[in-house]
Amino acid sequence: MIIVRPTVSEERWLALADRYPALQASVEQLGKGGGWKTSTWLGRCLGFVLGLAGTGMLAGVLSYAPAPWLVGGLMLVVVAEWMVAQRRVFRSGVEEALYLCGTVAIVVELLVWSTGNNNALDVALIATAVLLVGWRLLNPLFTTLAAAGYSLAIAVIDGSLFGGSMYTREAAAACVLLAVGALVAGGRKWRRPSHDRMFDGLVIAMPWLAHGWLVQYNGSSTVATHGVALAMALAFLVVNLFVGVKRRQHAPLIGTLGNLACVAYSTYRLMPWPMHWQLIAAGAVLLAVVVLLERLLRHRSKGITSRAIEESSSVDFVQVVGAVHLSPAAGSPAPAGVQGQGGEFGGGGASGRF
């Protein structure tokens, strides 16, 4: 089975053109992108909303048909696959919405036909469908949602989605393992930029989700659970900050901001101080951390530094150099033809020039 999608080289060229718009025309002219059509983030979001609207209208048309979810899901998947394979659409939003809704609809219809009543298995199958769509379309958001769905499946083992006890500590442990694994895998440079973003999504979201599962624990030792959540958030805060500065990666630093919010929430639940004293203490600690980081990063010559960039035209220079490098080289001049009317100064024939 041949899966039509951008090759590794084409995806890297598309990522370069997306990062430096000045190179987009050169990439398209040279055909480095393989003819794939992409869109901006705003266009992608609007396309996704348009795809959802089309899915809703199709659901209304097929509402009285037999097995509407299965029929509609197959139609949506076929249309999305046609857009990708024939129209060479990549990351436009429309095909992503159609593929996601169609695949989930097929799985839901099959679950409706089944006689079992296992919430964990149902959630795991839906998460698997989302994971397959994310792998097919190279979408890091879908793979991150699938990981969150697997944690939900672990939480509802022998339980229920609506009420009842949930295995929140086990789900939090699974999220921690995914976050640590993604952080380790992020140290390797993957060939596809989309694979890097998939691991980045896990690095950002999984610690937040693990903290959320822990603070929602409905056991008896609430104080101890919040203490564990605070320790975990502090650990991820330090590790993500160190890794982000060391590797010069955005994902761990973005995750650090969320870990900071998790630390603030757990501290608020554990400290019996009045609100104004908590705000004063949190502000003082945050100010001390910011001053310390600013002083540590001020004199760095490699990696992330807090100094202002002296020349703002460095990025433009990179774009110009890249555009010049991508421009096709001029062809060599054609050799001179035979000149008639004999040579000069008594030469021996045409073009003699003695």
Q: Where do the structural domains in the chain lie, given as residue ranges? A: 1-9+30-115
Residue type, 137: L
Give me the phi and psi of 37, to 5 degrees please.
Answer: -100, 120
Sequence-ordered list of residues with C-beta below 8 angstroms from that of 117, at least 6 positions apart, any chain: none
- Residue keyed to tokens 């199958």: 125
- Residue keyed to tokens 């630390």: 263
Q: What local confidence, expressed as pLDDT, does residue 330 receive?
A: 47
* Between 25 and 309, residue with greater pLDDT: 25
What residues form DSSP beta bridges with 37?
89
Q: What local confidence, expressed as pLDDT, does residue 129 receive?
A: 95
Mean pLDDT confidence for 322-332: 52
Q: What region, left, alpha or beta, does residue 158 occupy, with left being phi > 0 and alpha being psi -120 to 50 degrees?
A: left
DSSP 346: S
DSSP secondary structure, 267-289, as one string: HHHH--S-HHHHHHHHHHHHHHH
Q: Provide, rounded to the nearest whole percent, the portion of the chain with pLDDT above 70.
A: 80
Judged against a pLDDT cut of 80, whether residue 205 lies above it is answered with yes
Q: What local confidence, expressed as pLDDT, does residue 275 receive?
A: 80
Q: What local confidence, expressed as pLDDT, does residue 313 receive?
A: 47
C-beta atoms surrounding 327 within 10 Å: 11
Mean pLDDT confidence for 268-276: 81
Number of H helices and E strands in the chain, helices first, is 13, 0
Give me the phi and psi of 36, to 5 degrees please.
Answer: -75, 140
Label residue 323 by pLDDT band (50, 70, 90): low
Label residue 82 by pLDDT band (50, 70, 90): very high
Tens of pLDDT, residue by residue over 96-153, are 999 999 999 999 999 888 866 778 888 999 999 999 999 999 999 999 999 999 999 9
Label residue 48 by pLDDT band (50, 70, 90): very high
Mean pLDDT confidence for 249-278: 86
Q: What local confidence, expressed as pLDDT, does residue 350 receive?
A: 54
Tens of pLDDT, residue by residue over 147-185, are 999 999 998 887 666 555 778 888 999 999 999 999 999
If you average pLDDT over every residue of the chain, what do you get?
A: 82
Which of 334, 318, 238 lies closest to 22, judged by CA? 318
Label residue 75 by pLDDT band (50, 70, 90): very high
What residues form DSSP beta bridges with 89?
37
117-121 — which CB contacts under 8 Å span 24+ positions?
119/156, 119/159, 119/160, 119/161, 120/153, 120/154, 120/156, 120/157, 120/158, 120/159, 121/153
What is each CA distance from 38 to 5, 44, 48, 346, in whole angstroms? 12, 8, 13, 67
Which of 113, 108, 167 lies closest to 127, judged by CA? 108
